[in-house]
Structure 1
Amino acid sequence: MAPVPIEPRPSDSSRFRSHTIAATTEGVVDFEVPGAGKPCKTWYRLRGNLTYGGRPLVCLHGGPGVGHDYLESLEDLSISYNIPVVLYDQLGTGRSTHLPEKKGDAKFWTIGLFLAELDNLLRHLGIHQNYDLYGNSWGGMLGAEHAILGPKGLNRLIIADAPANIHNWVRAANKLRKELPEDVQAVLQKHEDDKTTDSPEYERAVQVFYQRHVCRVNPWPKEVQRSFQNIKDDPTVYHTMNGPSEFHVVGSLKEWSILQDLPKIDVPTLLINGRYDEATDEVVEPYFQKIKRVKWVTFEQSSHMPHVEERSRFMEVVSHFLRSETMRC
């Protein structure tokens, strides 16, 4: 494959300065899962103080199955803005219980499972009556699903880089795919047709797409690398619910849509995407059109991870949204 000219951009994390020291607490929560066949636990990490800090922000990672690692920069909100931040690994990934024996079991790996896990964590931490929610990519989909249920304790919602409909997502991703070098496209198509998407050659071709539309920082920060390693180590959840790549969605989410239910979201919502995001404007726009109180911010130098690619500005935008008493839309 021909080399793809991508201008390297260093992470701007060095420009972000800490002003306070926030305590870190790690733990696990027992999670009773019917049909799991064994005890399950959800691993979490709290940065900040739930008693003396502001309203906690619970963060939902993407994938499904990527793990919390690439969201670690969100702890800046605790360090500099005194907002307690909760990161956790969803069932099947990272430090939470793995169930590789459930690979391919679409009846087990459901949105309802992950909604139940979130509720279980909120109650364990004692914050179910007062919290904010952030979701990136699949996490944004999950956050929206949670919000439409009208939980009384949810104050503010952030939907970052997430589709409202998988058909729109795949259509937009394939438009971006057509902009890749022809030899890269040929490799992708060949292995998808041959059902050999576990090939290293296919993975290298997918990486070309990811460097353009998932994270444009070069090289990828270690926490981002760890999240993608999570999928390699255990692809159970990602392959069952999504498929082998972002634009080849053949898993149980392939027909997912939340379009009809978006008007049920009645909390102030911040919608985020990046100018080079695989979650293009057409992908995220339904949230803007259908949610009652929503503000949309596009990060001009980012793709799918503005919390990494434009870290300082991202924290300023998010902290202002979470701390402001009113929101104009």
Structure 2
Amino acid sequence: MSNNPAFPEHVGTVDFVVSGKTYKTWYKVIGDLKSGKIPLVTLHGGPGLNHRYMLLHKHLWTREKIPVVCYDQIGNGQSSHILDAPAEFWTPELFMDELENLLDHLGIRDNFDLVGQSWGGMLAGHFAAARQPSGLRRLIAANSPASIPLYVQGTNALLEKFPPEFVAKLRKHEADGTTDSKEYNELSMTFLKKHVCTLDPWPEDVMASFVMIAANPTVYHTMLGPSEFNVVGTLKDWDIIDILHRIQAPTLIVGAPNDEVQEPALLPWFLHVPKIKWVELANSTHLGMYEEEDRYLHIVQNFLTG
């Protein structure tokens, strides 16, 4: 347990069996799952980040006594790292199975809320639509496209606003297979600072999550690709538009005008989910939960308790 009385914490692991092999999912519970309030389970993005930047949801415990569950998805953070698995191992179904396994372990399968950011929201939406969990009360997808092809169209449109020589250098590295070069990484960071997080410096918990990709890029490179705008991984054709109508829980989507996830990639949520609310953080990018933290938490708090 944590020594901080404001944020009582419990940390643990749960066995996760895949094709006869046992892996570990690491998790942290902030607050008391027996508080009487519906617990909020957070799903981090990437794919390939970790739970650290989702910890800001802990303030929901002090504000509303909502217990918050953060965890590192398999392959990331303090959960099992798997370096030799084939590309087909890393599927949305794998992560949905892991989520169900965690819900069972914590005893909250019959009563929980979900919040996912970026890939985490994609996963949460896919889970809600494909598995239709009866215990899901509310769903939040922050900065999460409903379709990767639509997302890529948006990032391409954003890149068109950069100088032509900037884009030419990016595309040359991608064509030459030199996306691991220093220059490509620097060019990518220029994009990130404009459309992922405009804070300077980046908050400690955000940096702690993003360094995970540098430390072990397996999941990110396999599922997404070498950068946010060069999606060549197993998710390149991911699209849940056709099943969004199956989401039964009241749903909140959060976007931002300067987010790398542009409006056309969010619109299908609004058009197809039966009980939907869409909020824009007008002064933000992809990490609006940090750029406009107070407003974001207020929006989430009101949605969960309304």
Q: TM-score range by the shorter chain?
A: over 0.9
What are the Cα deviations for residues 162-220 of structure 1, in whole angstroms up to 9, with x where unaligned? 11111100010011111123332222111101011011110000001100111111110
The code of the aligned residue for 1:204 comes to: E
The CA distance in 2 between the partners of 1:21 and 1:119, in whole Å, is 29
Contact 2:7 2:30 in 1 (8 A): yes
The CA distance in 1 between the partners of 2:55 and 2:7, in whole Å, is 14
Gaps of 5+ in 2: none
**Structure 2 partner of 1:222:** 204
The CA distance in 1 between the partners of 2:99 and 2:10, in whole Å, is 18
What are the Cα deviations for residues 99-145 of structure 1, in whole angstroms up to 9, with x where unaligned? 0112xx22211111100000000000000000000011111111011
**Structure 1 partner of 2:109:** 128
**Structure 2 partner of 1:153:** 135
1:295 aligns with 2:280: no
**Structure 2 partner of 1:52:** 35
**Structure 2 partner of 1:239:** 221
What SS is found at the alignment partner of 2:24?
strand
Contact 1:217 1:309 in 2 (8 A): yes
2:56 to 52, 69, 73: 73
1:166 aligns with 2:148: yes
1:40 aligns with 2:27: no
2:11 to 18, 23, 26: 26
Q: Aligned-pair distance for 1:33? A: 1.4
1:311 aligns with 2:299: no
**Structure 2 partner of 1:266:** 248
> Where has structure 1 moved over 3 Å in runs of 4 or more?
none
Contact 1:74 1:307 in 2 (8 A): no
What are the Cα deviations for residues 260-312 of structure 1, in whole angstroms up to 9, with x where unaligned? 00000111000101121111111101000000010000001111112111111
**Structure 2 partner of 1:323:** 305
The CA distance in 2 between the partners of 1:46 and 1:302, in whole Å, is 28
The code of the aligned residue for 1:60 comes to: L
**Structure 1 partner of 2:173:** 191
TM-score, scaled relative to structure 2: 0.96
Contact 1:22 1:49 in 2 (8 A): no
**Structure 1 partner of 2:162:** 180
1:90 aligns with 2:58: no
The CA distance in 1 between the partners of 2:61 and 2:23, in whole Å, is 29
Once structures 1 and 2 are overlaid, which stretch shifts more, 285-294 or 73-82?
Answer: 73-82
Q: Aligned-pair distance for 1:79? A: 2.1
Gaps of 5+ in 1: 1-19, 325-329
**Structure 1 partner of 2:259:** 277
**Structure 2 partner of 1:101:** 84
Once structures 1 and 2 are overlaid, which stretch shifts more, 73-82 or 147-156?
Answer: 73-82
Higher relative contact order (CA 8 A, sep 6+): 1
The CA distance in 2 between the partners of 1:81 and 1:311, in whole Å, is 16
Contact 1:44 1:86 in 2 (8 A): yes
The CA distance in 1 between the partners of 2:114 and 2:171, in whole Å, is 37
The CA distance in 1 between the partners of 2:64 and 2:27, in whole Å, is 21
Q: Aligned-pair distance for 1:247? A: 0.9
Coordinate RMSD, CA, aligned: 1.2
The CA distance in 2 between the partners of 1:160 and 1:307, in whole Å, is 8
TM-score, scaled relative to structure 1: 0.89
Contact 1:35 1:108 in 2 (8 A): no
**Structure 1 partner of 2:47:** 64
What are the Cα deviations for residues 70-97 of structure 1, in whole angstroms up to 9, with x where unaligned? 1121111112221111110000010000
What SS is found at the alignment partner of 2:79?
coil
What SS is found at the alignment partner of 2:171?
helix
Q: Aligned-pair distance for 1:35? A: 6.2
**Structure 2 partner of 1:141:** 122
2:188 to 202, 206, 210: 206
The code of the aligned residue for 1:171 comes to: Q
